[in-house]
Amino acid sequence: MLTLFVLNLLLHFAMQASSPLDQVFQYIDDHQDDYIQHLKEWIAIQSESGNPTKRHEVIQMIQTLGKTINRLGGSVELTELGKEQLPNGKMIPLPPVVLGELGKDPNKTTVCIYGHVDVQPARIEDGWVTDPYVLTEKDGNLYGRGSSDDKGPVLAWLHAIEAFQALKQELPVNLKFIFEGMEESGSRGLDELLRQKNDTFFSNVDYIVISDSGWLSKKPALTYGTRGLCDFFVEVQCANQDLHSGLYGGSVHEAMTDLIALLDSLVNSTGHILIPGINADVAPLTDEELHLYEAIEFNLEYFKHTIGTTELLHKTKEDVLLHRWRFPSLSIHGIEGAFSGPGSKTVIPAKVTGKFSIRLVPNMDPEKLSNQVTTYLNRVFEERGSPNKLRITLQSGSKAWVTDVRDKQYDAGRRAIRKVFGVEAEMIREGGSIPVARTLQHTTQRSVIMLPICGSDDAIHSQNEKLSRGNYINGTKLFAAYLDEISQL
Amino acid sequence: MLTLFVLNLLLHFAMQASSPLDQVFQYIDDHQDDYIQHLKEWIAIQSESGNPTKRHEVIQMIQTLGKTINRLGGSVELTELGKEQLPNGKMIPLPPVVLGELGKDPNKTTVCIYGHVDVQPARIEDGWVTDPYVLTEKDGNLYGRGSSDDKGPVLAWLHAIEAFQALKQELPVNLKFIFEGMEESGSRGLDELLRQKNDTFFSNVDYIVISDSGWLSKKPALTYGTRGLCDFFVEVQCANQDLHSGLYGGSVHEAMTDLIALLDSLVNSTGHILIPGINADVAPLTDEELHLYEAIEFNLEYFKHTIGTTELLHKTKEDVLLHRWRFPSLSIHGIEGAFSGPGSKTVIPAKVTGKFSIRLVPNMDPEKLSNQVTTYLNRVFEERGSPNKLRITLQSGSKAWVTDVRDKQYDAGRRAIRKVFGVEAEMIREGGSIPVARTLQHTTQRSVIMLPICGSDDAIHSQNEKLSRGNYINGTKLFAAYLDEISQL
């Protein structure tokens, strides 16, 4: 009797120690190599949305994703968005959007997950150590284009769901999925689709979660804001065709000289944007906000080290973070039409296009900004007295997004982080632009959270993009914990 | 008797009307289609000296040229110049230089002809209307890369010689040839070779003639000066690798912002070079020189029209020509390492290299100029207080060349032009840099003339390079007439 009692007691404790969620965590730990293999298959698909010659691979990636959801028992609708016209006039199909659904229990909360499976261009010649399209593990990191942005996080969601199912545990929530293949190219057609589906697909959605960003440091984070983006082209033309700099140098108002002066008028050496009126639109910083920044753990020396610089534009942790997230910034990306190859070419380029962009914060407005930029550059150009042709165009514009950190979905996020990592979530914003956050919140009026699982040093959009094995696996656990927490709200 | 007398008289006049040189001219007129076919074969060889992947075609072109001289009965030595190291460390062979000789009569004058058979890169995607490597005749123009610079002129020399031979006329002079395949890439190794051959190959040379430039207008010209060239790279590095402009914008001293400011400090909107000290080195303009410019026929409106602009940097004919030939100019060619493709890329480039060059005039010195540029840019950079790494390098440097227009070789040139075209030669300079003119004159101490046959609108180094059929054929006649005139000096 006593033996049986002791055995029952032990069994009781063992059951307690191994809660259903702990079993999910254990299952995830046990299957990490499978998850990496799965990611490897996805990375091999070169789904570069900005590269028209790879459009079929984006479409293939969307189809692969749809089948993965089908295997989990979910239903999938591949929603066509029509065609895209290339600058040369050619029409190519836009990749369809995956609208998926898994579970329809009216007693459960419904969570909609957003992600994307297209990637930025990558070539080994750009300076990758390994083939960007062959996922390669080295020192605990998984290198490959899209590993962190955003194929890894999308797969982590699907693996979290699969873990519940494999253990025959009931999914704690109903799920909806919205996964796209044009995020890196302005999410063409998505806004319109979201508006169309607001009364149908989104009607029973309670919460929306986005995993398409990174932590600030090695500490898990919740993201409550992103900057917007306005993308400008400044084209100057001085001749019908390129000229020989020996034959024409000294006689022609060169387009490059004008363009360089225009670009040089945009921002000064301290990073201050020189376009009049822009800074007046930035929402004033409150004391409450500043306190949020003071609480953040952020090692400036490590940040400088990862960049490879000795000095930043600002001196304090708060100032650096504020200028990454809370204030606008301007970057000059390059020039199209000028000589860009190795070696020398003594050419006077006939038509050159400078590319720059401005990151927007509340309360900046893309249309107003575009007017400010155009007025200013036209004035700078006029003062030069150049006979050349100037054309300034706004390529795309999106507003910033900020939400209330006191939203209860954020409480669920904080609890999930505490459960998986044993630490308090860092409350951060994102310097990059993820316009879909704003659009989803604006259109559906639902609570939106950004729940990142990627590292701060994942080099997204750059050479040698990676996701650490640890973040991939713990991120999968975090998603499982989040689904569990959100079901209890 | 009377009939016979009349017949003899007629024959006498006919013989007079058809001098030996007139017969050469007639022969050239009768064979123009053959000459075009020959040029077509040469244009098909993509002898881009700046493109390492085409090096075998440059060598093939040199060999083809050597065989053409052999067929004229000339002897040819293909002089090896060793190897070239590419930026990636790989070694590739330099194309040999053709040293040729035709005729050794001690009673004749010896003329040495210089030319080159390599070309600037060309791709149909750059905006060519026809394939740059398929010579295509349209509206009296022969379009193709190298048609004008410099395969057409080199072939014109060889056809002029062939015409004398076909008519069984004795060549009026002994000939030497120096033809190279690296002119568009800094004539690597040529200076050293010229010095080595000064006491052998050049010992019995009386005159040197170069045909590697163009007329100023539709009027035939003799060129008595060229500008020099200093080619600069300005490299700025801000990070170990490219950064995402959303994640890092506002925190990093961007390399592009620094580089744009550096490039913007070089030249103002009126084309005035801002580097201190440069203009002080320019030889003062004499009244005698200015008179030379006043005499030149040059239509500013037509010049603007060919460029495709409404306004030049200077207002008068004299000022425009002086700034093309007689004063230095600075052109910014482009940036390596920044985004240069179509579309958008929100990148902060980690390492960018600005490419610019300065055209030198007497008495500017490349080494002194390089010091002035480096000192100035370092100061501009220092004033910005940027932590980034700056590296300024002079890639290549050559001085200007000017010779005395009263040289008797120029008299021969003027008479030849009068004979073929019935007009006075325009005395011009060249804004481009043909360093071999200076090197040949400096090394051999012989009289050097530049005898161009190409049009002012031939678009050399640009898209749709062409040589007109008229200039190709009349140029061949001019070369025959020049050989005839020079033999009489």
The pLDDT of residue B53 is above 70: yes
A221-241 mean pLDDT: 96
Q: Closest Cα partner for A473 from A135, A41, A35? A: A35
- Please, which residues have CB within 8 angstroms of residue A87's CB and are 6 or more apart in sequence? B342
Question: If you compute the radius of gyration of chain A from its CA atoms, what whole number of angstroms results?
Answer: 25
CB contact under 8 A, B386 and A269: yes
Residue of B nearest to A330 (CA): B249
| Secondary structure of residue B222 in the 3-state scheme | strand
**Which runs of consecutive H residues, i.e. helices, occur in A179-238?**
190-196
A193-221 mean pLDDT: 95
By Cβ distance, the residue of B348, B350, B357 closest to A245 is B357
B243-264 mean pLDDT: 96
A12 falls in which pLDDT band (50, 70, 90)?
Answer: low
Let me know: does B150 contact B115? Beta carbons within 8 Å: yes
DSSP B454: B
The pLDDT of residue B205 is above 90: yes
B265-294 mean pLDDT: 94
- How confident is the model at residue B433, as a pLDDT? 87
* Distance (Å, whole) CA A421 – CA A423: 5
Percent of chain A with pLDDT over 90: 87
CB contact under 8 A, A330 and B87: no
By Cβ distance, the residue of B252, B342, B431 closest to A246 is B431
The reply to whether A341 touches chain B by the CB within 8 Å rule is: yes
- How confident is the model at residue B92, as a pLDDT? 95
B151-198 tens-digit pLDDT: 999 999 999 999 999 999 999 999 999 999 999 988 888 999 999 999
Q: pLDDT averaged over chain A?
A: 94
**Which runs of consecutive H residues, i.e. helices, occur in A125-189?**
152-166
ipTM, two decimals: 0.85
| Secondary structure of residue B122 in the 3-state scheme | coil
* Distance (Å, whole) CA A157 – CA A28: 12
CB contact under 8 A, A359 and B311: no
* Distance (Å, whole) CA A123 – CA A115: 24
The pLDDT of residue A13 is above 60: no
Identity of the residue numbered A176: K
B206-233 mean pLDDT: 95
The reply to whether A256 touches chain B by the CB within 8 Å rule is: yes
A10 falls in which pLDDT band (50, 70, 90)?
Answer: low
Displacement of CA A414 from its chain's centroid (Å) = 21
DSSP A408-439: HHHHHHHHHHHHHHSSPPEEEEESS--HHHHH
- How confident is the model at residue A393, as a pLDDT? 96
A45-90 tens-digit pLDDT: 999 998 989 999 999 999 999 999 999 999 999 999 999 988 788 9
Strand locations in A96-144, DSSP E? 97-102, 110-116, 136-138, 141-143
Residues of A with Cβ-Cβ distance to B462 under 8 angstroms: 241-244, 347
Q: Closest Cα partner for B250 from A361, A289, A369, A293? A: A361
Residues of B with Cβ-Cβ distance to A463 under 8 angstroms: 241-242
- How confident is the model at residue A197, as a pLDDT? 95
Q: For the whole model, what pTM was predicted?
A: 0.84
B348-404 tens-digit pLDDT: 999 999 999 999 999 999 999 999 999 999 999 999 999 999 999 999 899 999 999
* Distance (Å, whole) CA B422 – CA B419: 6
* Distance (Å, whole) CA B457 – CA B459: 6
Tokens of B336: 């390596």
Tokens of B247: 């994640």
* Distance (Å, whole) CA B236 – CA B262: 10
- How confident is the model at residue A426, as a pLDDT? 94
Residue of A nearest to B128 (CA): A241
Tokens of A299: 């090692």
Instruction: Give the strands of the sheet with A466-468, arranged side by side.
Output: A136-138, A141-143, A466-468
Let me know: does B432 contact B120? Beta carbons within 8 Å: no
Percent of chain B with pLDDT over 70: 97
Residue of B nearest to A310 (CA): B387
- How confident is the model at residue A14, as a pLDDT? 53
Count Cβ atoms within 10 A of the Cβ of residue A384 and give its class: 0-12 exposed, 13-18 middle, 19 or more buried: middle
- How confident is the model at residue B457, as a pLDDT? 87
List A84, A118, A149, A180, catalytic entry: A118
**Catalytic site residue A183?**
yes
- How confident is the model at residue B288, as a pLDDT? 86
- How confident is the model at residue A433, as a pLDDT? 87
* Distance (Å, whole) CA B405 – CA B422: 20
Let me know: does A98 contact A62? Beta carbons within 8 Å: yes
Going from the C-alpha of A35 to that of each of A131, A193, A459, A475, B3, the distances in angstroms are 20, 31, 21, 12, 111
The pLDDT of residue A164 is above 80: yes
The pLDDT of residue B17 is above 70: no
The pLDDT of residue B215 is above 80: yes
Residue of B nearest to A321 (CA): B251
Tokens of B199: 């006491």
- Please, which residues have CB within 8 angstroms of residue A389's CB and are 6 or more apart in sequence? A235, A236, A237, A238
DSSP B146: T
Q: pLDDT averaged over chain B?
A: 94
Residue from B53, B242, B252, B274 to probe the interface with A (highest A Cβ count within 10 Å): B252
A285-301 mean pLDDT: 91
